[in-house]
A and B are shown apart, each in its own frame.
Chain A
Amino acid sequence: MSSEFTTYIISALAFMGGLGIVLAAVLALANKKLHVQEDPRIDEVEGMLPGTNCGACGSPGCRAFAEACVGGNANPSKCTVSSRDMVAFIAGYLGVEVGEQEKIVARLACAGGNHVARMRANYAGMGSCRAAVAAGGGGKACAWGCLGLGDCEESCGFDAIHMDRHGLPVVDEDKCVACNDCVVACPLDLFSLHPVSHQLWVACKSLAQGDDALADCDVACTGCARCAADAPEGLICMKNNLAVVDYSKNHLASRIATERCPTGAIVWYDKGQAIKGGAARKIIRKEPLPIRPDSR
C-alpha cells in the first residue's frame, strides 16, 4: 500500500513540476519575443516627478507627463508642483532647455467676508457651498458672492487654501500649483487661474449697480467706472456694472487704477497680499454682520 501511495505522490509531483517548467519556459520566451521597447528614461523621469497626478500640466497624470517630456512634446517646466531646482535637474537629465514658465495661481473674485457682506437669511443645512446653492442660493444677500462653506478648501490637495476668520478662502501662493481643482469645486465660479504677473485684480463678481450692490456688501464693485476712466487706453472696461481688466494689456497695469476705487473692489496683488487703494473706505469691523431679511 505504501509503495502505491509513494508512486501516486511522485507522479503528481513530477507532473506539476513538469507543467511548471514548461509554462515558465513559455513565459520566458514571451518576455523575450513580446518585449515592448520603452525608453528607460520615462521611468526615471516619472520617479523625479512629484507623483501627485494633479493635472496642472495638462497631462492626465505624472506618467503621461513623463512620456510627453521624454518624447519632446512638453517641457519639464510645465510641472508646477516640482521645485525650480528639480525642474532644472529633469531638464538637465533630458538635455533640454529649462523653459520659462511663469507661476500661475488661483485667484478669488470676491472680497466679501462676513464682516463686510450682509446675510439675508441663516443657512442651516449641509456644510457645503454646492448644497447651499441648491437651497435657495444660501443666506448671502449678494447672489454672486462667496458662500464661505469651504468646498474649495476641501478640494485643495496641496493645503494651499484656508478659510480666514471672516469665512473667505485665502490662497497661499507658495503652495498653489494651479491644478484647477478649486476652480471646478466652486459652484459660483469665483476662482480662476492667473499668472502672478496679473497683479491688478477685480475682487468682485456682483452685477448689481450702485447702491443696490453696496446694500449687499461694503466692498462690492458698484460700477462707478472711476478705475476705467483713470486707466491707460483699454486696460479696464466696464461690462454689466463690473470692471473688467484686459490682461493682454497687462504691461500698462499699475497701482494707480486702484487708487480711486471707493470700495476697494479693485486691488493690487503683491507677494500674495491684496492691497487696496487709498480711497477705499477703511473697514475696521471685525465681527460678522447681523442677518437682515430686509436686504434684497
Chain B
Amino acid sequence: MSGLAKLLDPAHWFRSTFSHGIHPAENKHFTANKPIRRLPFPPELVLPLSQHAGAPSQLIVHPGQEVVRGEPIAKAGGFVSVPLHAPATGMIKGVELMPTARGPKTPCVILKVYPGDSQEVRFYQERDVDKMTPQEIMQAVQDSGLVGLGGAAFPTHVKLSPPKDHKVHTVLINGCECEPFLTTDHRVMIEMAEYLIRGTQIFMKALGAKKAIIGTEDNKLDAVEALQAKLPADGSITVKAVKTKYPQGAEKMLAKALTGLEIPSGNFPSSVGLAVFNVSSTAEIGELLPLSRGVIERVVTITGPGIEHPGNYMVPIGTPLRFILNQLGFSGQARHLIMGGPMMGGTVSSLDVPVTKGCGGILVLTEEDTKDQISRATYPCISCAKCVEACPMHLNPSQLGKLAYKHRYDEMSGDYHLMDCFECGCCSFVCPSNIPLVQYFRIAKSSLREKAMREKAKAS
C-alpha cells in the first residue's frame, strides 16, 4: 500500500502504535512475495557451541562419530542454555576455533555432511502435547534447543518460567518484523499459520494465560488474512495489525501498541503480566514439540542489491555464508555483508561465519549503497533534538552522545539511563550531523560492562 493510500484508509487511522520511532525505507519488495525454498546442504556445517545468550552448550559426541539428522550433539550447559542438534546426517570432524558473526573465534563443531544421504529426519518421537503439564512443556522447549529466532537468541524456556510473583495473563506473538529488507516472519505467518497457532496454544498452556494476541505491522495484511482463516473458534487468540513504524518489533514497543501496558525500566514483560515470543520461534514450537524434535534449520531472508537471487530460504543451522552466497550468486558488486537487518544487524567480517539460530536475515549491499554512508563527514551536535524525538525509549541521545564523546560513562548510565537503550539506531538514523550515536553507546556499554567485571574480579 502506498503512503497516500494508507493515509486515506480509515482502518489505518485507528491502528495503534507507540510514540516516537522512525520510518526507514522498507525495501521488503525484494522478497515479500517469494515462498520459502530450500537450499542444498553444504559439504561441511559449522556449529558454534555458543549461538545463544547464556552458557555455551557442552559437547556429547566425539570426533569421528556418525550422527543422524536431528540427533542431539551437545547438551545444555546450565539453566540459561540450550542443547544443539545435528542439522544433517554425517560425521563429526572435530571441534575447531572458527570465526563467528560477532568477531571472536569460538569453538565450533565441524560436521561433515554425507552427500549420498536422503537427509530425512529419523530422530523423533511423537507425543501428545495436550497431556503435558506446564513444567513438562518447559523442559521439552529447552530440550528442543529453541532460542528467540528474532535475533536476540535468548533461550525460550527461560521466558516460560517467569518469577513466582508474576502472573502472565496475555501472550503476545511478535510478527512485526520492523527491520527493513527482512521478510522471514512475514512468510512464516503466511506459510506456517497452522504451526504458529499450535505453538501459541502451547505457550498459553505453559504459562496459564487465557489470551493471546498476534501482532503484526499493517504492511503485512496478507499475513493477517492468512492467520485469521486458521484462528481457533473459542476466540482466545486474536490477530491485530499495528502501524508500520520502526522499531515496532521491540518487546516494549509491541506491548505498548497491543495492550497499552508499559513495561517498567529494567523489568521483564512478565512484571506486567505479558510474555512476548517471536512468530518464527512460536511456529517452530508448534512444529517440533509434538514430535520432540530439535531446531535444525530456520527460515532466513537472503536479500539486498548485491545478490542475484534474493528470497526466503530454509537454511540448515551451521551453513557457512560463503556457501550460501555461491549458491545464490553475487552480482559482483557485493561489498558489505550484514547478518540480521540493516538497523540492528551485525556486520560480518568473514565469509566463514555460519548461519546460527538467531540469524533471521543476510543482507548483501553493494559499493553503490554504502559509499555515501562511508564518505559522509561527522559534524558537531547542533542540539536540534531530532534524536530525542526519534528515541522510542524517551532517552536523550543528544546529551548521551556529548557525554560519550568525553568518556563520561558513569554519568551516562547513572543520570541518563544508558542501560535502557536497546541500540535500535533511530538516533543515528535521524542525526543531521551524522554523529554515530548508537556506536558511541555501544562503546560506552562495553566499557561499563568491562569495568563491572573488573570490580567483580577485584572483590572476589
Contact = CB atoms under 8 A, between A and B. Distances in A.
Contact of A133 (B97, B98, B99, B103): B103
Contacts of B454: 184
Contact of A130 (B347, B352, B447, B451): B447
B105 A143 contact: yes
A226 interface: no
B439 A120 contact: no
B349 A130 contact: no
A247 interface: no
B97 A136 contact: no
A194 to B, nearest CB: 19
Contacts of A187: 446, 450
A124 interface: yes
Interface string B440-453: 00110011001100
Contacts of B351: 293-294
Interface string B94-118: 0001110111110000000000000
A131 B435 CA distance: 13
B439 A137 contact: no
Interface string B309-352: 00000000000000000000000000000000000001111111
A40 interface: no
Residue of B98, B349, B436, B446 with highest tally of chain A CB at under 10 A? B349
Residue of B101, B348, B352, B439 with highest tally of chain A CB at under 10 A? B439
Given A124-B374, A143-B104, A296-B98, A135 B347 contact: yes
A121 B446 contact: no
A134 B446 contact: yes
A129 to B, nearest CB: 9
B453 to A, nearest CB: 11
Nearest to A139: B349
A113 interface: no
A130 B374 contact: no
Given A128-B443, A208-B97, A136 B436 contact: no
Given A125-B439, A131-B442, A187-B446, A136 B347 contact: yes
A214 interface: no
Interface string B411-453: 0000000000000000000000000100100110011001100
B103 A207 contact: no
A207 B436 CA distance: 33
A151 to B, nearest CB: 9
Contacts of A138: 103, 349
A296 B374 CA distance: 25
A125 to B, nearest CB: 7
A89 interface: no
A207 B105 contact: yes
The number of chain B residues touching the other chain, given as a range, is 20 to 34
B346 A136 contact: yes
Contacts of A141: 350
Contacts of A137: 99, 102-104, 349
A136 B352 contact: no
B101 A136 contact: yes
B97 A207 contact: yes
A121 B349 contact: yes
B348 A136 contact: yes
Contacts, number: 68
A135 B344 CA distance: 11
Interface in A135-176: 135-139, 141, 143
Contacts of A125: 347, 436, 439
A138 B349 CA distance: 7
A126 B436 contact: yes
The number of chain A residues touching the other chain, given as a range, is 20 to 34
A111 B341 CA distance: 36
A252 B436 CA distance: 51
B443 A296 contact: no
A143 B99 contact: yes
A141 B447 CA distance: 24
A133 B449 CA distance: 14
A295 to B, nearest CB: 8
Contacts of B104: 137, 143
A120 B322 CA distance: 13
B347 A133 contact: no
A123 interface: yes
Nearest to A140: B349
Given A131-B439, A138-B103, A123 B349 contact: yes
Contacts of A123: 349
B350 A296 contact: yes
Contacts of A294: 351
A170 B348 CA distance: 29
Nearest to B443: A130
Contact of A131 (B346, B348, B436): B436
A187 B374 CA distance: 23
A143 B108 CA distance: 15
B87 to A, nearest CB: 21
Contacts of B347: 125, 135-136
A120 B352 CA distance: 11
Interface string A263-296: 0000000000000000000000000000001101
Nearest to A240: B97
Contacts of B352: 296
Contacts of B439: 125-126, 131, 134
B105 A208 contact: yes
B406 to A, nearest CB: 12
A207 B20 CA distance: 46
A217 to B, nearest CB: 13
A120 B348 CA distance: 10
Interface in B335-376: 346-352, 370, 374
B36 to A, nearest CB: 27
Interface in B72-104: 97-99, 101-104
A184 B407 CA distance: 13
Residue of B98, B99, B450 with highest tally of chain A CB at under 10 A? B99
A52 to B, nearest CB: 17
27 contacts: A120-B349, A124-B370, A125-B439, A126-B436, A128-B443, A130-B442, A131-B436, A131-B439, A131-B442, A133-B446, A134-B439, A134-B443, A135-B346, A136-B101, A136-B348, A136-B349, A137-B103, A137-B104, A138-B103, A143-B105, A184-B450, A187-B450, A207-B97, A212-B97, A296-B99, A296-B350, A296-B352
Interface of B: 97-99, 101-105, 346-352, 370, 374, 436, 439, 442-443, 446-447, 450-451, 454
Interface of A: 120-121, 123-126, 128, 130-131, 133-139, 141, 143, 184, 187, 207-208, 212, 293-294, 296
Question: Which are the 3 A-B pairs with shortest beta-carbon distances?
Answer: A137-B103, A136-B349, A121-B349
Given A130-B443, A133-B103, A207-B105, 4 more contacts: A134-B443, A137-B99, A139-B349, A208-B97
